[in-house]
A and B are shown apart, each in its own frame.
Chain A
Amino acid sequence: MTFLPVILWSDVLIWLLVLAAIVLGVLSSRNPPLRAAWQRVGRSRPGMAAATVLMAFVLVGLLDSLHYRPRLESREAGQPVAYSVEVLSLLDAMVTPLRTRSEKTYSQPLATRAYTKEAFDVRDADGSLRQVRDFPRLKFGGAHLGDDEARRDDDIVKRVLAAEALACAILAGIALGGSYLLARRHACSARQIWSALWRGELSVAWHAVLATLGLLLLLLMPLAVLSVDYHVFGTDKVGQDVLYQILKSVRTALVIGLVTTLVMLPLSILLGILAGYFRGWVDDLIQYLYTTLSSIPGVLLIAAAVLMMQVIIDTHPQWFATAAERADLRLLALCFILGVTSWTGLCRLLRGETLKLRELEYIQAAQAFGVSDLRIILRHILPNLMHIVIIALVMDFSSLVLAEAVLSYVGIGVDPTMISFGTMINNARMEMAREPMVWWSLAAAFVFMFTLVLAANLLADAVRDAFDPRLAGSS
């Protein structure tokens, strides 16, 4: 084999989540009330636009969640196969140039020369060496131009135009293919479907999806085309491409936002239902537990827990084969700590709702049949709490992504070697004070993080409106 698959713990959890999403999808499609709620989400234009953007992020995150160690080129035959200690992902392989083409230090977006002057020797015509201070030529940025750097602007414009043309072509393909498929499903002509789509008469807001997709393609295609030969977002202090860092940050944000909920969901669902259903001393105990936990300010509890975790990791270096595994475990531990500190809110909510539900007449009817408590909880209570759980899941995602940035800044977030929005901002913060200022890392991190969180918030709103009839009525 040319590579050795590496299964990181977070990969397992991420793919488990994908599986869970599929199961949830199948379950929802079988249950009419849930299906109706998802259909309401499908009709929401902002919701579907946000979902499209999120899907793009998720795609990047999933590609970045298949890890392997490449085989080292063995110098001599007969030696045992050795694998690199560097753990790469499928995404890394796809964007290899971004990963490997490191400059020496800072360079501006699309630059062909470095950001700071450097002293280097120039051999004059007469053969004597002369020292000059100038902006050195970048090793990779615009390397294809050779010495003809003046051609850069033309080259960029040409490439952008070509990219936009390509984007339009792809978009047209998607639109035609999509409307053909829809037309077949609705058994009418593609032209009818096309006009119905733009009038928003279909049961899913496909026009929002299509418009968002178009916007994404038009914006990202030039980036992709240019990134082949330029550093579109510049490079950072050690010369690493900023676009690459952004792509890597996406997975970190997704893991924090999703795996954390995975940790806290079982805990809060179980305890919330137990407290609300059985009341009495069970309720007292669980209430005491979550009041106590929630009375420790979150950041401080996380800080304390992360400090302790660091001690464990630092005193047990033998547990980790690679740096990636260590960083991964730290990421998971952070998710776990965030989960443990954030389950109380949902638990309280579920307890309250269970208290209300258990007084409802259909629960009493079940009790009159002698249905066991476990069965009542599984059949009657849990399904009627699902909407709260789903709402909490999507609402928490954005706040967790934001929290990661703050925690990493404070120094209690992800491993400093792991690329995330938080570590990017943390590094870039010093650069703001530089003269001249290095702004591109921060700007790129801002734009992408804002897009991710905004999309998550908009989707959360759509989901909440669709699943909570009480709130939907008021607004």
Chain B
Amino acid sequence: MLAYLLRRSLYAIPILIGVNLITFALFFVVNSPDDMARMQLGVKRVTPEAIAKWKVERGYDKPLFFNAQAEGVGVLTDTILFAKSARMFVGDFGRAEDGRDIAREITTRMGPSLAIALPTFILGLYVTVSFALLLTFFRGSYLDIWGVVLCVALMSISGLFYIIGGQFLISKLWRLVPISGYSGGLDAWKFLILPVLIGVISGIGSSARWYRTIFLEEIGRDYVRTARAKGLSEVAVLFRHVLRNAMIPILTGVVVVIPLLFMGSLLTESFFGIPGLGSYTIDAINAQDFAVVRAMVFIGSVLYIAGLMLTDISYTFVDPRIRFE
């Protein structure tokens, strides 16, 4: 088992390098820093001097791969590849357009993001799995049929409408909670409750339907027939046998997103004015702040890969075949 986990973690290294190279290529090879400067400065102010100044300010004036003028290791380190891409491995993301340190900004914004994403994730998982189990228990009945219809309808609504509708109904019409905003400390709950609720509801449709398919697939298996032949009740069959086997495919989709919770949600945060990483990213996109977007792409991939490894670890808990290999 240890060898299995170790092998999986070793596999992450080439992937991380690949991600790093892809982001580098996207940001510096597809367009030259000159193009970016022209775009940022706008047509009126474009002069060769302005471009040069813009590049120097951001450290984009170095060569891409090899610096023939530098000495020693500088040939490799005094380049954009090293300074802007490779240094991200050690958490150095550089500065945003407004001059702030990106790494520090990220650490302070993680909290609010997590405050919404984590409850949404846990509550959402609980609600969807329970709903799917309910549908599975009453499979073939009208409850099941209409439940699936509801799921399909729910998943046909754009996430934007959930947020707009929720804000309109609960905050504007009923005035139950503030429409947006955030505060640290304990009274944050009144800002969090609506986004969490909306996050849970908007996820029900597709997840519950998917889990139901998994449960139904498991229910058709031979061991379920054996369990019924033992005289177990349908509830015992569902919880003791089906749920535990269905956990294996469910975990594949679920565990991988846990680290990504740190990244927050773009839509929710921007609509509710939560100062998290999601709104940070959106602001950066709108302001065309390349350094921040680059940093977020890299962090997102690192978290995803961490999620893959978490998935591998979680398999060893639910699947004895891997645990004992």
A283-315: contact bitstring with B at CB < 8 Å (1 yes, 0 no)? 000001001111111011101110110111011
- Would you give the shortest CB distance from B225 to chain A, in whole angstroms? 14
B238-273: contact bitstring with A at CB < 8 Å (1 yes, 0 no)? 000000000000000000000010010011001000
Distance in angstroms between the alpha carbons of A398 and B27 in the assembled complex = 30
Assess whether A312 is in contact with B30, with CB atoms less than 8 Å apart: yes
Quick check: is B84 within 8 A (CB to CB) of the other chain? Answer: no
Assess whether B31 is in contact with A311, with CB atoms less than 8 Å apart: yes
Assess whether B159 is in contact with A308, with CB atoms less than 8 Å apart: no
Distance in angstroms between the alpha carbons of A299 and B30 in the assembled complex = 19
Distance in angstroms between the alpha carbons of A474 and B155 in the assembled complex = 21
Q: Identify the closest chain A residue to B159 (Cβ).
A: A406
What A residues does B152 contact at CB under 8 A? Answer: 454, 457-458, 461
Quick check: is B23 within 8 A (CB to CB) of the other chain? Answer: yes
A297-B304, A411-B286 as given contacts; A473 in contact with B158, CB under 8 Å: no
Q: Identify the closest chain B residue to A470 (Cβ).
A: B217
A-B contact count (CB 8 A): 131
Quick check: is B38 within 8 A (CB to CB) of the other chain? Answer: yes
Assess whether A409 is in contact with B160, with CB atoms less than 8 Å apart: yes
Distance in angstroms between the alpha carbons of A308 and B219 in the assembled complex = 48
Quick check: is A19 within 8 A (CB to CB) of the other chain? Answer: no
A297-B260, A475-B213 as given contacts; A457 in contact with B156, CB under 8 Å: yes
Q: Identify the closest chain A residue to B17 (Cβ).
A: A292
Quick check: is A453 within 8 A (CB to CB) of the other chain? Answer: yes
Assess whether A304 is in contact with B27, with CB atoms less than 8 Å apart: yes
Quick check: is A425 within 8 A (CB to CB) of the other chain? Answer: yes
Interface majority SS (helix, strand, loop, mixed), chain A:
helix
Assess whether A312 is in contact with B15, with CB atoms less than 8 Å apart: no
Distance in angstroms between the alpha carbons of A473 and B220 in the assembled complex = 9
Quick check: is A198 within 8 A (CB to CB) of the other chain? Answer: no
Tell which of B263, B285, B290 has the most Cβ of chain A within 10 Å: B285
Distance in angstroms between the alpha carbons of A429 and B31 in the assembled complex = 33
Assess whether B39 is in contact with A315, with CB atoms less than 8 Å apart: yes
Assess whether A304 is in contact with B297, with CB atoms less than 8 Å apart: yes
Which residues of chain B (1-45) have a CB below 8 Å from chain A? 14-15, 18-19, 22-23, 26-27, 30-31, 35-36, 38-39
What A residues does B158 contact at CB under 8 A? Answer: 402, 405-406, 421, 425, 449, 453
Q: Identify the closest chain A residue to B216 (Cβ).
A: A474
Distance in angstroms between the alpha carbons of A405 and B297 in the assembled complex = 21
Assess whether A296 is in contact with B297, with CB atoms less than 8 Å apart: yes
- Would you give the shortest CB distance from A471 to chain B, in whole angstroms? 7
Assess whether B30 is in contact with A293, with CB atoms less than 8 Å apart: no
Q: A296-B19, A308-B27, A425-B161 are in contact. List 4 more A-B contacts (CB 8 A).
A: A288-B14, A296-B304, A307-B288, A432-B172
Measured CB to CB, the residues of B under 8 A from A are: 14-15, 18-19, 22-23, 26-27, 30-31, 35-36, 38-39, 152-153, 155-161, 164, 167-168, 172, 213, 216-217, 219-220, 260, 263, 266-267, 270, 281-282, 285-286, 288, 290, 293-294, 296-297, 300-301, 304-305, 308
Measured CB to CB, the residues of A under 8 A from B are: 288, 291-297, 299-301, 303-305, 307-308, 310-312, 314-315, 398, 402, 405-406, 409-412, 421, 425, 429, 432, 442, 446, 449-450, 453-454, 456-458, 461, 471, 473-475
